[in-house]
């Protein structure tokens, strides 16, 4: 009897271990190039910018990814804030989104604009919060019927009042829900939405205080944070601080989210091809998997057809997979 009990306990422990270490629900990559040459508006397709290809969808899906974050340029999507979506640019995006979602992928629409529209901060001076609401009303109307489309409100708001950004975010959420769209919404914070500065006042009132005021009548939103592992957290250096910096930089945010019963997605993170970064990335992914009550998923920065030799690119080349793909292999959601 005792032996049987020990076996049962061992099996339970094994199962719990499997659950704890299982990959997060949404795992994938930023497929970036649609936001390139942001100063060239509207820009020329396949000269100033391009969109990722169906081959990239197939490649990352074959590896186990089920999430694509798709950076787009707001001014190309919606050239006039009270006008329609641009048929050409939104058409390119829609062709990609339709292919990806019909092949089992989830796609985050990401206006990659840092809370700026034509270089003006949203919600300040003549650029009211309603301009962001206008954009999201159009996108929500278009994609309300596709539950595999996720609405990422904005990429990396910064250098603005956090209270200002909350107003923008709530205006956009209201516009989405007013269209009847039930899609998951990703809400970033101020200060480049850095996980490591979520409780900091370096950019104004901390996100940890202000973003408690997010209002979604459907309660179907999670926070989107970004985290790079170099000395200043900018993602511009090849060196990661140390082998535990990934876990260390997201711990306080994780605790805040858990305390306040929020979930989150790590919308951007990366490391260059070196041993310290490999260990730091592995530690970060393991940490998120062990804290799935908070972490819904992640998307690596970046891949896309024009990244070339960029140190973080996981775009496959003629010689095969990027080195970092081996780091991610155990963590894709299969």
Would you give the DSSP letter of residue 145?
A: T
Q: How far apart are CA 243 and CA 146, in angstroms?
A: 40
Hey, what domains does the chain have and what are their CATH numbers? Answer: 2-331 (3.20.20.80)
Would you give the DSSP letter of residue 216?
A: -
Structure-token pair, residue 242: 């140390």
- pLDDT for res 284: 98
Q: How far apart are CA 299 and CA 38, in angstroms?
A: 22
pLDDT per residue as tens digits for the range 141-168: 999 999 999 999 999 999 999 999 999 9
Reference 283, options 227, 231, 225, 223; nearest CA is 227
* 124, 118 contact by CB (below 8 A): no
* 143, 108 contact by CB (below 8 A): no
- pLDDT for res 334: 60
- pLDDT for res 22: 65
pLDDT per residue as tens digits for the range 290-324: 999 999 999 999 999 999 999 999 999 999 999 99
* 34, 50 contact by CB (below 8 A): yes
- pLDDT for res 128: 85
Claim: this prediction has a pTM higher than 0.95: no
Reference 83, options 40, 138, 45; nearest CA is 138
Which of 35, 56, 156, 224 is an active site residue? 156
- pLDDT for res 17: 37
Backbone angles phi, psi at 157, to 5 degrees: -55, 145
pLDDT per residue as tens digits for the range 3-41: 444 343 334 333 433 333 466 799 999 999 999 999 999
* 280, 244 contact by CB (below 8 A): yes
- Catalytic-residue membership of 239: no
Structure-token pair, residue 245: 């910096």
> Can you say how many angstroms the Cα of residue 314 is from the centroid of all Cα atoms in its chain?
16
DSSP H stretches of helix in 29-78: 54-63, 74-77
- Catalytic-residue membership of 78: no
- pLDDT for res 10: 39
- pLDDT for res 307: 96
Which of 268, 279, 289, 315 is an active site residue? 268
Place of tokens 């990366």: 270
């Amino acid at each position: 009897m005792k032996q049987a009990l020990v076996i049962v306990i061992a099996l339970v422990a094994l199962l719990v271990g499997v659950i704890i270490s299982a990959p997060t629900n949404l795992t994938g990559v930023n497929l970036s190039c649609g936001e390139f040459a942001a100063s060239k508006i509207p820009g020329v397709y396949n000269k100033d910018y391009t969109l990722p290809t169906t081959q990239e969808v197939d490649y990352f899906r074959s590896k186990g990814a089920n999430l694509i974050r798709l950076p787009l340029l707001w001014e190309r999507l919606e050239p006039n804030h009270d006008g329609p979506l641009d048929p050409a640019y939104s058409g390119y995006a829609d062709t990609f989104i339709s292919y990806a979602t019909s092949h089992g992928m989830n796609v985050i629409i990401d206006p990659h604009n840092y809370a700026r529209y034509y270089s003006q901060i949203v919600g300040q001076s003549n650029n009211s919060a309603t301009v962001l609401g206008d954009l999201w009303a159009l996108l929500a109307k278009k994609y309300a019927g596709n539950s595999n489309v996720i609405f990422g409100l904005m990429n990396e708001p910064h250098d603005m009042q956090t209270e200002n950004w909350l107003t923008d975010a709530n205006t956009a959420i209201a516009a989405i829900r007013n269209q009847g769209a039930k899609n998951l919404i990703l809400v970033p914070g101020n200060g480049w939405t850095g996980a490591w500065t979520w409780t900091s006042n370096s950019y104004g009132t901390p996100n940890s205080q202000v973003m408690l005021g997010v209002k979604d009548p459907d309660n179907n939103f999670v926070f989107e944070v970004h985290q790079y592992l170099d000395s200043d957290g900018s993602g511009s250096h090849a060196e990661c601080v140390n082998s535990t910096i990934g876990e260390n930089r997201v711990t306080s945010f994780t605790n805040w989210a858990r305390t306040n019963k929020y979930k989150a997605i790590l919308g951007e993170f990366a490391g260059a091809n070196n041993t310290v970064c490999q260990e730091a990335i592995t530690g970060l992914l393991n940490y998120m998997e062990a804290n799935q009550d908070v972490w819904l998923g992640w998307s690596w920065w970046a891949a896309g057809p024009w990244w070339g030799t960029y140190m973080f690119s996981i775009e496959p080349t003629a010689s095969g997979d990027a080195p970092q793909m081996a780091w991610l292999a155990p963590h894709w959601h299969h």
